[in-house]
Amino acid sequence: MTLREGGCVVELREEHVGEGLLPMTAGELRLSAAVPERMTSLAPYKGQAAALSQAMQAAHGMGWPKPGRMTGRKGARAMWFGREMALLIGPEPDPGLAAHAALADQSDAWAVLALEGPGAVEVLARLCPLDLRDHVFKRGHVARNEVAHMAGAIARMGDENWRIMVFRSMAGTLIHEVETAMRRVAARRNSPGEGADRAGDLP
Protein backbone atom coordinates (compact mmCIF):
# COMPACT_ATOMS: atom_id res chain seq x y z
CA MET A 1 0.00 0.00 0.00
CA THR A 2 1.12 3.54 -0.71
CA LEU A 3 0.44 6.41 1.64
CA ARG A 4 -1.29 9.28 -0.09
CA GLU A 5 -2.78 12.48 1.22
CA GLY A 6 -6.00 11.55 2.98
CA GLY A 7 -5.37 7.82 3.12
CA CYS A 8 -3.76 4.78 1.53
CA VAL A 9 -3.93 3.52 -2.03
CA VAL A 10 -3.53 -0.14 -2.95
CA GLU A 11 -1.03 -0.66 -5.75
CA LEU A 12 -1.86 -3.53 -8.10
CA ARG A 13 0.96 -5.38 -9.82
CA GLU A 14 0.57 -7.64 -12.83
CA GLU A 15 1.55 -11.21 -12.02
CA HIS A 16 2.47 -13.62 -14.77
CA VAL A 17 1.33 -17.24 -14.82
CA GLY A 18 3.66 -19.38 -12.74
CA GLU A 19 5.69 -16.43 -11.50
CA GLY A 20 8.17 -17.73 -8.94
CA LEU A 21 7.28 -21.36 -9.77
CA LEU A 22 8.26 -21.81 -13.40
CA PRO A 23 10.19 -22.97 -15.27
CA MET A 24 10.87 -26.26 -13.54
CA THR A 25 12.41 -29.54 -14.64
CA ALA A 26 12.33 -33.20 -13.64
CA GLY A 27 14.76 -35.45 -15.46
CA GLU A 28 14.45 -34.57 -19.14
CA LEU A 29 11.01 -33.02 -18.69
CA ARG A 30 10.47 -29.28 -18.62
CA LEU A 31 7.40 -27.26 -17.62
CA SER A 32 7.19 -23.54 -18.39
CA ALA A 33 4.65 -20.80 -18.95
CA ALA A 34 3.86 -20.51 -22.64
CA VAL A 35 4.69 -17.19 -24.26
CA PRO A 36 1.59 -15.02 -23.71
CA GLU A 37 -0.48 -14.56 -26.84
CA ARG A 38 -3.77 -12.85 -27.53
CA MET A 39 -6.66 -15.32 -27.39
CA THR A 40 -10.07 -14.47 -28.82
CA SER A 41 -13.06 -16.78 -28.68
CA LEU A 42 -15.12 -17.04 -31.86
CA ALA A 43 -18.72 -18.26 -31.80
CA PRO A 44 -20.36 -18.12 -35.25
CA TYR A 45 -23.86 -16.75 -35.55
CA LYS A 46 -26.55 -19.11 -36.82
CA GLY A 47 -25.90 -19.93 -40.45
CA GLN A 48 -22.62 -17.97 -40.53
CA ALA A 49 -20.06 -20.72 -39.97
CA ALA A 50 -19.02 -21.00 -43.62
CA ALA A 51 -18.82 -17.22 -44.05
CA LEU A 52 -16.77 -16.94 -40.87
CA SER A 53 -14.32 -19.57 -42.11
CA GLN A 54 -13.91 -17.67 -45.38
CA ALA A 55 -13.37 -14.40 -43.52
CA MET A 56 -10.76 -16.04 -41.28
CA GLN A 57 -8.96 -17.44 -44.31
CA ALA A 58 -8.90 -14.06 -46.03
CA ALA A 59 -7.81 -12.11 -42.95
CA HIS A 60 -5.56 -14.54 -41.09
CA GLY A 61 -4.66 -17.31 -43.54
CA MET A 62 -6.57 -20.07 -41.74
CA GLY A 63 -10.07 -21.50 -41.86
CA TRP A 64 -12.38 -22.79 -39.16
CA PRO A 65 -10.82 -25.83 -37.43
CA LYS A 66 -12.42 -29.26 -37.52
CA PRO A 67 -13.43 -30.78 -34.15
CA GLY A 68 -10.35 -31.69 -32.17
CA ARG A 69 -7.96 -29.91 -34.52
CA MET A 70 -5.99 -26.70 -35.02
CA THR A 71 -5.42 -24.68 -38.17
CA GLY A 72 -2.84 -22.03 -39.00
CA ARG A 73 0.79 -21.78 -38.00
CA LYS A 74 3.04 -20.46 -35.24
CA GLY A 75 1.94 -16.96 -34.29
CA ALA A 76 -1.52 -17.30 -35.85
CA ARG A 77 -3.64 -20.35 -35.04
CA ALA A 78 -7.28 -21.27 -34.69
CA MET A 79 -7.95 -23.95 -32.08
CA TRP A 80 -11.19 -25.92 -31.83
CA PHE A 81 -12.57 -25.18 -28.39
CA GLY A 82 -15.88 -26.98 -28.22
CA ARG A 83 -19.14 -27.11 -30.11
CA GLU A 84 -19.39 -24.08 -32.40
CA MET A 85 -16.47 -22.45 -30.60
CA ALA A 86 -12.85 -21.77 -31.50
CA LEU A 87 -9.95 -19.74 -30.14
CA LEU A 88 -8.06 -17.41 -32.42
CA ILE A 89 -4.55 -17.41 -30.93
CA GLY A 90 -1.93 -14.82 -31.78
CA PRO A 91 -3.28 -12.05 -33.98
CA GLU A 92 -5.66 -9.23 -33.22
CA PRO A 93 -8.94 -10.40 -34.79
CA ASP A 94 -9.85 -8.71 -38.03
CA PRO A 95 -12.85 -6.38 -37.45
CA GLY A 96 -14.69 -8.12 -40.30
CA LEU A 97 -15.03 -11.31 -38.25
CA ALA A 98 -17.55 -9.59 -36.00
CA ALA A 99 -20.08 -9.65 -38.85
CA HIS A 100 -20.18 -13.44 -38.64
CA ALA A 101 -19.43 -14.32 -35.01
CA ALA A 102 -19.48 -13.18 -31.42
CA LEU A 103 -15.93 -12.31 -30.33
CA ALA A 104 -14.58 -12.12 -26.79
CA ASP A 105 -11.06 -11.50 -25.56
CA GLN A 106 -9.93 -14.53 -23.51
CA SER A 107 -6.28 -13.56 -23.09
CA ASP A 108 -6.46 -13.14 -19.31
CA ALA A 109 -8.92 -15.96 -18.73
CA TRP A 110 -6.62 -18.93 -19.35
CA ALA A 111 -3.29 -20.15 -18.04
CA VAL A 112 -1.26 -21.88 -20.73
CA LEU A 113 1.66 -24.14 -19.80
CA ALA A 114 4.19 -25.78 -22.09
CA LEU A 115 5.22 -29.35 -21.25
CA GLU A 116 8.20 -30.66 -23.19
CA GLY A 117 10.58 -33.59 -23.23
CA PRO A 118 10.69 -37.39 -23.33
CA GLY A 119 7.97 -38.78 -21.08
CA ALA A 120 5.52 -35.91 -21.58
CA VAL A 121 2.84 -38.36 -22.76
CA GLU A 122 3.27 -40.40 -19.57
CA VAL A 123 2.85 -37.25 -17.49
CA LEU A 124 -0.38 -36.30 -19.24
CA ALA A 125 -1.66 -39.88 -19.01
CA ARG A 126 -1.64 -39.42 -15.23
CA LEU A 127 -3.69 -36.23 -15.47
CA CYS A 128 -6.40 -36.85 -18.06
CA PRO A 129 -8.37 -39.90 -19.32
CA LEU A 130 -7.40 -39.68 -23.00
CA ASP A 131 -5.58 -41.99 -25.39
CA LEU A 132 -2.51 -39.87 -26.17
CA ARG A 133 -0.48 -42.44 -28.05
CA ASP A 134 1.34 -41.09 -31.10
CA HIS A 135 -0.85 -42.78 -33.68
CA VAL A 136 -4.06 -41.59 -31.97
CA PHE A 137 -3.37 -38.07 -30.69
CA LYS A 138 -1.16 -36.49 -33.34
CA ARG A 139 0.50 -33.12 -33.85
CA GLY A 140 -2.19 -30.49 -34.31
CA HIS A 141 -4.77 -32.41 -32.26
CA VAL A 142 -6.55 -30.69 -29.38
CA ALA A 143 -9.07 -31.84 -26.76
CA ARG A 144 -11.30 -30.06 -24.27
CA ASN A 145 -11.08 -32.36 -21.31
CA GLU A 146 -10.67 -32.74 -17.59
CA VAL A 147 -7.07 -32.10 -16.55
CA ALA A 148 -6.34 -33.21 -12.99
CA HIS A 149 -10.05 -32.71 -12.14
CA MET A 150 -10.08 -29.22 -13.67
CA ALA A 151 -11.89 -28.13 -16.82
CA GLY A 152 -9.22 -27.49 -19.43
CA ALA A 153 -7.70 -28.36 -22.77
CA ILE A 154 -4.56 -29.99 -24.12
CA ALA A 155 -2.94 -29.62 -27.52
CA ARG A 156 -0.07 -31.44 -29.17
CA MET A 157 2.35 -29.01 -30.81
CA GLY A 158 5.05 -31.57 -31.65
CA ASP A 159 6.30 -35.05 -30.82
CA GLU A 160 7.30 -34.06 -27.29
CA ASN A 161 5.78 -30.59 -27.12
CA TRP A 162 2.38 -30.01 -25.50
CA ARG A 163 0.20 -27.14 -24.30
CA ILE A 164 -2.02 -27.47 -21.24
CA MET A 165 -4.76 -24.92 -20.53
CA VAL A 166 -6.94 -24.32 -17.48
CA PHE A 167 -8.71 -21.26 -16.13
CA ARG A 168 -6.13 -18.79 -14.89
CA SER A 169 -7.44 -18.95 -11.32
CA MET A 170 -6.42 -22.63 -11.23
CA ALA A 171 -2.86 -22.10 -12.51
CA GLY A 172 -1.20 -22.83 -9.17
CA THR A 173 -3.10 -26.09 -8.76
CA LEU A 174 -2.25 -27.16 -12.31
CA ILE A 175 1.45 -26.46 -11.80
CA HIS A 176 1.44 -28.53 -8.61
CA GLU A 177 -0.35 -31.45 -10.27
CA VAL A 178 1.88 -31.45 -13.35
CA GLU A 179 5.05 -31.13 -11.27
CA THR A 180 4.03 -34.09 -9.12
CA ALA A 181 3.35 -36.23 -12.20
CA MET A 182 6.62 -35.12 -13.81
CA ARG A 183 8.69 -36.12 -10.79
CA ARG A 184 7.01 -39.53 -10.58
CA VAL A 185 7.52 -40.22 -14.28
CA ALA A 186 11.14 -39.04 -14.14
CA ALA A 187 11.82 -41.22 -11.10
CA ARG A 188 10.32 -44.27 -12.76
CA ARG A 189 12.16 -43.71 -16.04
CA ASN A 190 15.44 -43.38 -14.15
CA SER A 191 14.90 -46.44 -11.97
CA PRO A 192 17.33 -49.30 -12.72
CA GLY A 193 15.71 -51.99 -14.82
CA GLU A 194 12.57 -50.02 -15.52
CA GLY A 195 13.43 -48.81 -19.02
CA ALA A 196 11.22 -46.31 -20.85
CA ASP A 197 7.62 -46.07 -19.67
CA ARG A 198 4.73 -46.40 -22.09
CA ALA A 199 1.57 -44.32 -21.91
CA GLY A 200 -0.48 -47.50 -22.10
CA ASP A 201 1.53 -49.33 -19.42
CA LEU A 202 1.13 -47.21 -16.31
CA PRO A 203 0.04 -48.44 -12.90
Over the stretch 121-166, which tens digit does the pLDDT of each residue have?
999 999 999 999 999 999 999 999 999 999 999 999 999 999 999 9
> Phi, psi (5° rounding) for residue 108?
-95, 0
Q: What SS3 string covers 42-84?
A: EEECCCCHHHHHHHHHHHHCCCCCCCCEEEEECCEEEEECCCC
∠ CA 74-108-90, nearest 5°, is 20
Residue 198 has pLDDT above 70, yes or no: no
pLDDT of residue 3: 60
Say what the pTM is: 0.86
Domain architecture of the chain: domains with CATH: 18-35+111-189 (3.30.1360.120), 38-105 (3.30.70)
| pLDDT confidence tier of residue 11, bands split at 50, 70 and 90 | confident
Give me the residues paired with residue 144 across strands: 153
Q: Amino acid letter at 31? A: L
Over the stretch 31-79, which tens digit does the pLDDT of each residue have?
999 989 999 999 999 999 999 999 999 999 999 999 999 999 999 999 9
Q: Which of 5-14, 46-55, 89-98, 131-140 is the least confident region? A: 5-14
Residue 195 has pLDDT above 60, yes or no: no
pLDDT of residue 60: 97
Distinct helix (H) and strand (E) counts, the chain: 3, 13
